[in-house]
Amino acid sequence: MNDTVKELLLSKASEDFDWSEISPTIFGAVFESTLNPETRRKGGMHYTSIENIHKVIDPLFLDDLKEELEEIKQTTVIKTKNKRLIEFQEKIANLKFLDPACGSGNFLTETYLSLRKLENEVIYELTGGQIGLGDENFSPIKVSIGQFYGIEINDFAVTVAKTALWIAESQMMKETENILHITLDFLPLKSYTNITEGNALRIDWNDVIPNGELNYIMGNPPFVGARLMNESQKEDINNIFKGTKGAGNLDYVSCWYRKTTDYIDNTKIEVAFVSTNSITQGEQVAILWKDILEKGVNINFAYRTFRWDSEASLKAHVHCVIIGFSFLKRSEKYLYENDKVKRVTNINPYLIDAPNVYILGQKKPICNKAKMDFGSMPNDGGYLSDYDDEKKEMILLQYPEAEKMFKPFIGATEFLHNKRRWCLWLKDISPTEIKNVNPVYEAVQNVQKMRANSNREATRKLAEFSTLFGEIRQPSTNYLVIPRHSSENRRYIPIGYIDANTICGDANLLIPSAELYDFGILTSNVHNSWIRAIAGRIKSDYRYSASVVYNTFPWCNPTEEQKKKIEKTAQAILDARALYPNSSLADLYDELTMPRELRKAHQENDKAVMEAYGFNWKKMIESDCVAELMKMYENILKKI
């Protein structure tokens, strides 16, 4: 951004234009629209609607301030009321705020506007809306943009943030003038220097504002996934989490939580950040939160997962949480979900009203259940595992003896969408038979070349066994399949039985010889609730994990009667599916198209499973169910 453009923004567009009816926070959308999608994605930039800003600042401090002012306004003794109003004005004028990834300043600007509106209420109450008197130097305004601090890495965004605050200051001055019917002097933004340009993770925040002077931190730090970070961002992670095992699996936003924790230690500063919901799911929870909470931090309020929409024309949909935390322990804690709020006793790092637990991946099930494993991994470049009907038939037309070399193959896509796929399964095929079928022999040659040229030593070693899949875990019995990735839009992750003759790929997980009872439990809403709370995500889709989800899942101890009932309801689910043989599992489990018979079968199974757990299916909501499962998890671990 050159000096000419800066002058245009600061002088021409700001001084000579009537901004009285324009929201200063529009700059966030304007700034975002100047960035191409790739730049925005790499920087993790998501700019924020007014509604979503208030989801952060209202429970953090604004609700309490509004409530306090309303209580003061009810004071009947005028002298006492005015004294309290003046004290309240002094209080809000001395609050200081920091957004350590402020972007175009929307959080700072909207917070300033909100405080000034409160101050204008105070002014109106004190003056009764009468014409203001006093000398020309008199100013009733005490709240200033000087109370607001930001850190931002993008120089253009820094300029935009300063400009937005200047315009907000001008607008609110006009509102005060309208209350008092006087003209006030306006000190422009040009002298405002509280927005610091730089990498917030590499500068000392005490150089921006000493932590002893600060009251609140808020914002939406960059959303960049652990596998999407550039080298500079990875370096930030390594510096912030030096010595922390598993830090390479953390999303970039985690750095702000950790650095903030260190900055606010031994202070009364309260914080609220917007984050991708991944930091409250899967393996990231223990890596990030265990150390933070054990230092004495408390989660005081939280919004459970919701969709956060940018104001830009190319909307970026990300699934977010809001977490309010501090070293202070609030007497009242609140969980927000689906436009409802619930007062709770504790908010753990999964954003559940339950004790602080950390679900750590286990090598085997914590309950006495069958092992879950990956399907077989081809590691073949597609030369063994990727044959459709046409490719298979072309080979069989010339080499009918190759029929026994093909077996049905299912990855997650084939399993969920009823797609036919074949693989060359040469496990028990003799070398002579392979050499006599030229296309099969060529496929093996290609596998050998692909593996030999790999950058991975383990793959290069597999070149010696090029007739076989890279890793073979095919059961000799029928097995239960769970796709490793599944849409968040499904209430139930589709799982099902597959015969032993079908080769299962490693896009699925499998349980050999799983009982009908096992299917009933794993397809139930109890288990799916656990998945939604514990599993990691790919974007917003569920990422099922044997170690983190299945192995940690607390199974119930049913009576024989309860077990038989679950077997019966589980079979009813399979029977309901069978009524629609031409429909894929993806179609059957679409919430809009799920057949009535299947939905009812699942509901009956849910009731049977909840009864076996001792849960009241008529009253218990999902978060309560997960809270009880977490308690069971803790108790089981104590006995292991």
Q: State mean pLDDT over 104-118.
A: 95
Output the pLDDT for position 544.
94
203 exposure class (CB count in 10 Å sphere: 0-12, 13-18, 19+): middle
Write a three-state SS string for 526-577. Answer: HHHHHHHHHCEEECCEEECCHHHHHCCCCCCCCCHHHHHHHHHHHHHHHHHH
Written as six digits, the tokens of 599 are 């939905």
DSSP 355: -
Q: State mean pLDDT over 617-626.
A: 88
Q: How far apart are CA 29 and CA 315, in angstroms?
A: 10
Q: Helix, strand, coil % (nearest 5) of the chain? A: 45, 15, 40
Place of tokens 């935009």: 160
pLDDT band per the 50, 70, 90 thresholds, residue 617: confident
For 22, how many CA atoms within 13 A lie in the half-sphere containing its CB? 17
- Report pLDDT digits (tens) over 125-175: 988 766 555 445 556 899 999 999 999 999 888 988 888 898 888 889 889
Phi, psi for 115 (deg, rounded to 5): -65, -40
The 3-state DSSP class for residue 54 equals helix
Q: State mean pLDDT over 243-250.
A: 87
Q: State mean pLDDT over 491-511.
A: 97
More confident residue, 25 or 125: 125
Output the pLDDT for position 115.
97
pLDDT band per the 50, 70, 90 thresholds, residue 334: very high
pLDDT at position 421 over 80: yes
pLDDT band per the 50, 70, 90 thresholds, residue 639: confident
Write a three-state SS string for 242-268. Answer: CCCCCHHHCCCCHHHHHHHHHHHCCCC
Q: State mean pLDDT over 594-601.
A: 97
pLDDT at position 42 over 90: no
pLDDT band per the 50, 70, 90 thresholds, residue 22: low
Output the pLDDT for position 537.
74
- What's the pTM value of the predicted model, to 2 decimals? 0.83
Output the pLDDT for position 600.
98
- Report pLDDT digits (tens) over 527-584: 999 999 898 877 667 889 999 999 999 999 999 999 999 999 999 999 999 999 999 9
The 3-state DSSP class for residue 60 equals helix
Q: E strands of 432-478, at which residues? A: none
- Report pLDDT digits (tens) over 45-83: 455 688 999 999 999 999 999 999 999 999 999 999 999
| Residue 400: partners with Cβ closer than 8 Å, 6 or more residues away | none
More confident residue, 395 or 489: 395
Q: State mean pLDDT over 199-223.
A: 96
Output the pLDDT for position 491.
92
- Report pLDDT digits (tens) over 423-469: 999 999 999 999 999 999 999 999 999 999 999 999 999 999 999 99
Sheet holding 333-337, edge to edge: 195-197, 148-152, 97-99, 216-219, 270-276, 317-326, 298-309, 333-337, 340-344
pLDDT at position 366 over 90: yes
pLDDT band per the 50, 70, 90 thresholds, residue 6: very low
For 340, how many CA atoms within 13 A lie in the half-sphere containing its CB? 7
Q: State mean pLDDT over 245-257.
A: 91
Q: How far apart are CA 421 and CA 337, in angstroms?
A: 42
Output the pLDDT for position 128.
78
Q: How far apart are CA 456 and CA 447, in angstroms?
A: 15
| Residue 127: partners with Cβ closer than 8 Å, 6 or more residues away | 140, 179, 180
- Report pLDDT digits (tens) over 296-328: 999 999 999 887 755 444 445 678 899 999 999
Output the pLDDT for position 25.
58
